[in-house]
Amino acid sequence: MQTIQVHDKKFIPYITAEEINSEVRSIADRLSTDYAESKPLFIAILNGSFIFAADVFRALRIPAEICFIKLASYKGTKSTGEVITSIGLDADVFGRDVIIIEDIIDTGKTLNQFLPQLEHQQPKSMKICALLHKKECTVFPIHIDYLGFTIPDRFVVGYGLDYDGYGRNLNGIYQLEEQ
């Protein structure tokens, strides 16, 4: 992995594709065991989670469904504090075992806003699966049931995560270079 440039910023290698792949497999194994009998419904939060969600979903060994919603709170490298829903939930979650898939949990604002909406529709259970967690940034504490990596408060791109739309196609995860 090499230092890369996205727009005006430099990013340094942080988590390799191999390390991600091994975490994805272990998360999918745990999910396959925990939900062996229940035909769960995965809800992936677009845009950032599309690659992680696809890889976890493909690695499952159980019958499961997946659907997508679109929420966003970031502009550039900063959280705006406001969560906008642009594609809503079209699946029936009533009585289902639901697993939400996020790329990264930062302040917790996105899920803090979405979870009560989902709870209102009375799923049987509701768990969170996230690739990354910026623990130091917590404003709204969220319990993460299936977590890949805890990372420091430094902006990252790659494996679905973007800086103003770019960088999502990188296979590994890269961290903003310190100024």
The answer to whether 9 contacts ligand IMP (rule: CB under 6 A) is no
Q: How far is the CB of 61 from ligand IMP (least distance, A)?
A: 27
Q: How far is the CB of 156 from ligand IMP (least distance, A)?
A: 4
Contact 11, 153 (CB under 8 A): no
Q: Pick from ligand IMP, Mg ion, none: which does 175 bind, CB < 5 to 8 A by kind?
A: none
Residue with tokens 């100024």: 179
Q: Which of 32, 38, 85, 107 binds ligand IMP (CB under 6 A)?
A: 107
Catalytic site includes residue 106: yes
DSSP string, 56-119: HHHH--S--EEEEEEEEEEETTEEEEEEEEEE---S--TT-EEEEEEEEESSSHHHHHHHHHHH
Q: Which of 40, 48, 123, 158 binds Mg ion (CB under 5 A)?
A: 48
Which residues are catalytically annotated? 106
